[in-house]
Amino acid sequence: MKYRSFLLGTVAALSLSTAAVAAGPTPEGAAAIVKSLTGFLPDNVIKTGFIAAIPEGDHYRLSVDLGKLAGLLKPEKGQFDLSALYEMQIFPPAGDEGLMAVKRESGPLSINAKWSVGDQKGDVSYLIKDLVFNGDFDPAISYFRSGMGHASGGSITSYDGKQNLTASFGPSDYTMSGARNGQGSVDLVSSARISELAETISGPEMPLTTLTMGNIGIDGKVTGIKIQEISALLNFVLAHADEKTLTPEQRRSLADLVRKAMPLMTAFTEEVRVDNLAVTTSGITGRVDNLTYHLGMAGLTDDSELHFGMSLKNPQLIGLPQVVAYGDLIPKDISMTMSLGGLNFETVINSILDQADYDAKEPLTEAQWDAIGKAFLKDGRLKVELPEFQATSPLYSISVKGHVSAETQAEPAKANAEFDVTARDLDKTIAGIQSLAQSVPDLNTASFGLMMAKGMAKNDPDGTSRWKIEVAEDGQVKINGQVMPH
C-alpha cells in the first residue's frame, strides 16, 4: 500500500532529530523534524513548505501537502493540478528507552491529480476510505519497535489518454517490528495483508483485462542490519548532498563509511502469498488457487547465495480448446526452489571504491569493468542449484533436483550439469498420454519418448523410475552412466 513508503521514510528521518525534540514540542524541535525530512531535497522543493511540523499540545502535527508541489511540476504549455494531504502525530521521546509514539488518527486519505499538455489529458485518483496507524518508533534502531496500520479499503482510478484503470481493495493490515540483537545490529520484521483486490484495464487499442485476487499476504524479515554504520553513511550523504564534487579526503571518508557499513545485513527473506488469482483478457482466463513466491539472500558478502522459490496450486487456463484437449497432462501442483551461488558482492564493491576515478568522464575503464565482472562470480563460474522441482497431476508425479555450473566468460560458454529425475507410476503416465493422443496426435511423439526413457530408467520396488543425467562441458551426456550419442 502506498502510504507505507511515506510512513517509513518519515520515521526513518526522525532519528536524526531526536535530540532536538526530546525536551517536548517546541518550534526548534519542529524545525529539526522538517530539516531532517527535507535536508537532502533541492531548495526550490523545500521552499514550497510541502512538509510542515507544528507543536500541538503534547505532540507535533506533521503534515505533508503534495499539492504545494504542483507548481514545480506544471508543464510550460499545459496544466497540472495535485491535491494530497497526509497528517500524523509525533510524540517526543518518553520512558527509559526514549520511544517516540507515532499516530495517524482514523480518517480517509485522498490523492488526486489532473494534467493536460496540448491534446493529451490524464488523471489519477487514489482513495483509502479509512486509514489508521499506531506505532512506537525507537530512535536507537531508526525503526519502529512496533507498529500497526489498518485501512478499511480503497480504490484507484486513472486515465492516461490511452487506457482506463480502475482498481479496488478491501480491508488491509500492516505490522512492523524491530529489535536490537546481541551483535550490535538490528533485526526488522514486517507483514501486510490485503483482501479483495480487483483491477480492470481497458482502452481503444487494447482488450478489456481484469485481474482479481482473494487475499494477498506479504512477509519480510531482515536480520543483522548494521544500523549505526548505515546511519553514519546516510548522515554523510545528506551533509554533502549539495556539493557537486568531493575532495580526496571526503572520498576516502565516504569509502571508509561504505566499508564499515558492509555487508549492510546478514540476511533477508520475503514471501508473498496470493489466493484465488485470476486474469481474464480476450475471452481467456488464467486462474490459480494459490501462488506462493519467496526470495532470500545473505548480506552483500563474498560467496553469497540468492534463493528463489515459487509454487502454484491448481493452475488453469480457460477458454483455449487446445489446452482443454491436454486434460490431465496439465499439472495441478507445481513447486520449485533454486539458488544462485558464488556471488562476490564485497569484492565488487571494494574494487569500485579502490579503482573509481570520479573526476574522470568515465569513473572506470572498460577493462576495469570487465575485471570486476569476472571477479563477481567465484572462480569465474555461475552456479545454479535446483534443490527442488516438482509437478503433479492425476497422470504423473515428477521430481527434479540438481545443479548447473557455467563459465560465462568463456567463448563459447562452458557448462556442466547434473540432475536427478524421478517419476512415479510411469506406466500410468504412458497409458494416459496414449489415450489423449487419440484426439491430440502430437502426443504420440511424447508417448514414444517416455517409453524410451522407461527403458533407460532404474526402477525401485515401489515403481518409482530414476534417472541420473550428467552433462559435461564438451557436450557429452550420460543417463544412468550410459553415454548418449552426440
- Reported as a single tens digit per residue, the pLDDT across 167-183 is 999 999 999 999 988 77
pLDDT greater than 50 at residue 437: yes
Per-residue pLDDT of 44-56, as tens digits, reads: 888 899 999 999 9
pLDDT greater than 70 at residue 2: no
Per-residue confidence (pLDDT) for residue 10, from 0 to 100: 45
pLDDT over 70 percentage in the chain: 95
Per-residue pLDDT of 211-254, as tens digits, reads: 999 999 999 999 999 988 888 888 888 777 777 788 889 888 98
Q: Are 155 and 142 in contact, with CB atoms under 8 Å apart?
A: no
Per-residue confidence (pLDDT) for residue 22, from 0 to 100: 52
Domain-by-domain residue ranges, the chain? Answer: 227-260, 283-348+378-486
Helices 345-355 and 366-376, axial angle in degrees (round to 10): 160
Nearest in space to 310 (alpha carbons), one of 295, 329, 330, 326: 295
Per-residue confidence (pLDDT) for residue 13, from 0 to 100: 46
Per-residue pLDDT of 95-113, as tens digits, reads: 788 888 999 989 999 999 9
Per-residue confidence (pLDDT) for residue 89, from 0 to 100: 93
Cell of 59: 505532540
Nearest in space to 46 (alpha carbons), one of 55, 56, 36, 54: 36
Per-residue confidence (pLDDT) for residue 23, from 0 to 100: 57
Alpha-carbon gap, residue 447 to 430, rounded angstroms: 6
Label residue 282 left, alpha or beta by phi (over 0 means left) and psi (-120 to 50 means alpha). Answer: left
Per-residue confidence (pLDDT) for residue 6, from 0 to 100: 41
Alpha-carbon gap, residue 35 to 28, rounded angstroms: 10
Instruction: Tell me the three-class secondary structure of 180-238, residue by residue.
Output: ECCCCCEEEEEEEEEEEEEEEEEECCEEEEEEEEEEEEEEEEEEEECHHHHHHHHHHHH
Per-residue pLDDT of 269-280, as tens digits, reads: 999 999 999 999
Q: What is the mean pLDDT of residues 358-370?
A: 86
Min mean pLDDT across 18-32, 338-352, 376-390, 430-444 is at: 18-32
Q: What angle do CA 176, 181, 183 make, to 5 degrees?
A: 140
Average pLDDT, the chain: 88
Cis amide leading into 92 (omega within 30): no
Query: What pTM does this model have?
Result: 0.83
Per the model's pLDDT, the better-predicted residue between 77 and 87 turns out to be 87
Cell of 365: 575503464
Alpha-carbon gap, residue 46 to 37, rounded angstroms: 10
pLDDT greater than 60 at residue 396: yes
Per-residue confidence (pLDDT) for residue 7, from 0 to 100: 43
Nearest in space to 312 (alpha carbons), one of 275, 365, 258: 275
Number of H helices, E strands in the chain: 12, 23
